[in-house]
Chains A and B, each alone.
Chain A
Amino acid sequence: MANKISDETIEYVGILAKLELSDEEKEAAKADMEKMLDYIDTLNELDTTGIEPMSHVFPVNNVFREDVVTNGDGRADTLANAPQRKDDTFEVPRTIG
């Protein structure tokens, strides 16, 4: 394996993903990520000079909808997913001090 994920990197990625990992989990995640990067290296071996980068795999563009209201009151379904609710809102720990 050519790529190495440092302790700092796994810590940082954990912060970005809002994940708290145990030491074992960190090691496992490091190994997985190293494999992923190695795979990217394999892809990078391919000569892509002169090939235009694509942003999408399908040869399709301009898929639009018209500006017409098609959805009704979605409150019941949406709030069914709320771990904690107050009236008709999602209640979460206070975000701003």
Chain B
Amino acid sequence: MAKQYETVIGLEVHIELATKTKIFCGCSTEFGSAPNTHTCPVCTGMPGSLPVLNKQVVEYAMALGLATNCRITQVCKFDRKNYFYPDNPQNYQISQLYLPIARDGYVEIDTSAGPKKVRIHEMHMEEDAGKLVHDEWDDTSLVDYNRSGVPLVEIVSEPDMRSADEVIAYLEKLRMIAQYLGVSDCKLQEGSMRADVNLSVREVGAEEFGTRTEMKNLNSFKAIVHAIDGERQRQIELLEEGKEVIQETRRWDDNKEHSYAMRSKEDAQDYRYFPEPDLVPIVISDEWIAKIRAQQPELRTEKLERYKKEFDIPQYDAELITESKRVADLFEKAVELCGKPKKVSNWIMGEMFRLMKDKSMEPEDLVLSPEHLAKLIDMTDAGTISASVARKVFEHIFTDDVDPEKYVEENGLKTVNDEGAIWEAVEKVIADNPQAVADYKGGKEKAFGALMGQSMRALKGKADAGAVREMLMEILKA
């Protein structure tokens, strides 16, 4: 019988903090600005410049630590990690090695076999590096230092995960916590959440871990799953052939669905860490921890509980809505405005999720405002617009956040309540379609549907279908 292997995975997750400024200087962290605009002597490592720690970074890191059941390190400090690379103008990264901000936590994930704890070894604060864009044609790389000095928290897990599914569940959990706390938007495609995967395989039942490799450059959940499957396979094949797995860093190429060794012997990973002399220690009092703890917002589990009590919506709906803080906020605000949780939930669960899926959008990309969604629901309930018009208007609210009242007014979409107008339209359809009328009278039921369709079209879908049907029947009977 073939050997059975178990995959052992630990993760290093980098989360970019949602501060307005960088970790050690007053440069903006805004994403997508022109290259090198958000730079200064501090974040470009000019001699003589001095870093000063952004207090918000410490508080966000503490919030993340507390929300993941970590112990906060009450005397913590920064260290220098030395390496040469064009993305790093200082030739060292200010990070934390000896006394990281938080340690020994865990998050609980749902697996097919029930809930499982993934332990967090530690969490440290550090600065991000600049961004390199590789020019395929010129054989050059272009460096933009806007990201240099943007605050990061690196979360190092224990090797507690056993499958790609568990890894994704863990990442989704971390992302949800960070988003609920408001400490990061965690957009993988913009790089505000990144994961390095440490993976080894061992025979089922083995006590010892196998030799692990580290995979970098994973910027989507899809790439992470592919890389895990690919690396597991590669390592098993090596072992089956009687070869050894070499401990190394590998870069995943999602286009080629293949990883390759990144660092050669020449680039030995010897970072020569030492205490950062330009920054003084951080002393965190019990009072400071208590203050951050008291400020922690409602997290998802508590929110779900409250939804169950406060709103009459199905558990399944509540679960999907609270999966993202952005959607939950939208839901709550719209409910507050129109007072109809069931209807708000229906729009979100139906049309909104459908459109998001069609356009492959993340909750963070949503532009529609709760005010306009609430107004649309009120207008539909008041009979100002028909259900089919409401769906059309919703699409415009979804894409451009239009004011439904104004939009309906400008496009003449109000429901036709004027019986005279409906009567007139129906009479005209009957006059224009003598053949269909004759067919219907001759017993062809199908002809009624055609007349009904023509009438609704003539009224541009703005009339109540029941009223149109009634009048059509009445005239045909006469």
Contacts and interface: CB of A to CB of B under 8 A. Distances in A.
Interface in A50-93: 55-56, 58, 60-71, 73-75, 77-79, 81, 86-93
Nearest to B274: A55
Nearest to A70: B26
A74 B280 contact: no
Interface of B: 19-21, 25-28, 34-41, 44, 46, 52-58, 77, 82, 84-86, 132-135, 138-145, 251, 266, 268, 270, 272, 275, 277, 279-283
A1 interface: no
B277 A56 contact: yes
B40 A74 contact: yes
A95 interface: yes
A95 to B, nearest CB: 5
B95 to A, nearest CB: 14
A5 interface: no
Chain A interface main SS type: loop
B86 A64 contact: no
A87 B28 contact: no
Contact of A63 (B46, B56, B280): B280
Given A62-B282, A75-B34, A67 B142 contact: no
Given A56-B277, A66-B55, A75 B39 contact: yes
A86 B139 CA distance: 13
A46 interface: no
Given A67-B55, A74-B27, 15 more contacts: A12-B268, A62-B282, A62-B283, A65-B53, A67-B21, A68-B20, A71-B26, A74-B38, A74-B40, A78-B39, A86-B142, A90-B36, A91-B142, A93-B140, A96-B132
A70 B29 CA distance: 12
Contacts of B26: 65, 68-71
A36 interface: no
Contacts of B134: 94-96
Contacts of A90: 36, 86, 142-143, 145
21 contacts: A12-B268, A55-B281, A61-B282, A64-B52, A65-B26, A66-B54, A69-B27, A70-B26, A71-B25, A74-B44, A75-B34, A75-B35, A78-B39, A78-B40, A78-B44, A79-B36, A81-B44, A86-B142, A88-B34, A94-B141, A96-B134
B81 to A, nearest CB: 12
A18 B84 contact: yes
Contact of B28 (A16, A71, A95): A71
Nearest to B87: A95
Contact of A75 (B36, B56, B132, B251): B36
Nearest to A84: B140
A16 B140 CA distance: 23
A83 to B, nearest CB: 11
A77 to B, nearest CB: 8
A78 B149 CA distance: 14
B39 A95 contact: no
B53 A64 contact: yes
B84 A55 contact: no
Nearest to B283: A61
A21 interface: no
A92 B86 contact: yes
Given A61-B282, A62-B280, A69-B26, A78 B141 contact: no
B36 A92 contact: no
Contact of A61 (B143, B272, B281): B281
Of the candidates A71, A77, A93, the one having the most CB atoms from chain B within 10 angstroms of its own CB is A71
A31 interface: no
A91 B133 CA distance: 10
The list of the 3 closest CB pairs from A to B, nearest first, reads A70-B26, A64-B55, A67-B56
A15 interface: yes
B126 to A, nearest CB: 17
A79 B134 CA distance: 19
A45 B35 CA distance: 52
A68 to B, nearest CB: 7
